[in-house]
Amino acid sequence: MTNQSKLEQLNEEIIHCRKCARLVAWREEVARVKRKAYIDQEYWGKPVPGFGDSNARVVVVGLAPGAHGSNRTGRNFTGDASGAFLYPALHRVGFANQPTAESRSDGLVLKDLYLTASGRCAPPDNKPSPEELNNCQPFLERDLEILKPQVIVCLGSIAFARVLRIYSIRNSAWKFGHGAHYQLENGTWILCSYHPSQQNTLTGKLTVNMFDDIWKKAKSLIK
């Protein structure tokens, strides 16, 4: 079975998941009520599966879908401000064929990179609970099992904590910080980055140059 068919099978399972009652209610409520600007659009309103190159050597782990971003469009970081910061950076370094991401049919192709998340359903206030993240963790584990990446880029401290948990790392010296990177015994690198949320990009906590450095570093860590 190829990686692509394994990921397709996994993603099919993900989009039918209804394990977290609070998130199922929220994602569907948002999809029904909609934001005024998108009132004519049909929202996805389901768990958002992984997206990208099925032979990627770099896997990017985000937090969870935005209510009116990927919960609307059905694809990671698509149709919101975080994506408008992320995809141009991926394009500049050659991981994406275009800098824009508007919908699942916009022609965007990722090369050598796969995008996934700690939680697959949009949470209220962008905050999944620890229990919800635990419920969702097996999906991320399976992404990582299938892809066996050389580099895992963690966008934000929650993604970093989740990845450490998956690999049973209890080393207190492994702390989250922008640009911090650590190597697992199996050779895989874990590279930390601030999340490209508006809270970080509008305040200057994460600048374009700082983010570009992450993707250059990710490339340099590939064997």
The site for ligand SF4 (CB under 6 A) is made up of 14, 17-20, 23-24, 47, 119-121, 132, 135-136
69: which DSSP letter?
Answer: T
C-beta of 27: minimal distance to ligand SF4 in Å?
8
Q: Residue 24 or 93: which CB sits closer to ligand SF4?
A: 24
C-beta of 48: minimal distance to ligand SF4 in Å?
8
C-beta of 143: minimal distance to ligand SF4 in Å?
12
Long-range contacts of 86-93, Cβ-Cβ distance < 8 Å, separation of 24 or more:
86/196, 86/211, 89/196, 89/208, 89/211, 89/212, 89/214, 89/215, 90/215, 92/212, 92/215, 93/212, 93/215, 93/216, 93/219
C-beta of 54: minimal distance to ligand SF4 in Å?
20
Which segments within the chain are labelled E, that is strand? 51-52, 58-62, 113-117, 151-155, 181-183, 189-193
What is the Cα 78 distance to its own chain's centre?
Answer: 11
Q: Residue 136 or 218: which CB sits closer to ligand SF4?
A: 136
Q: Residue 15 or 180: which CB sits closer to ligand SF4?
A: 15
Q: Residue 119 or 156: which CB sits closer to ligand SF4?
A: 119
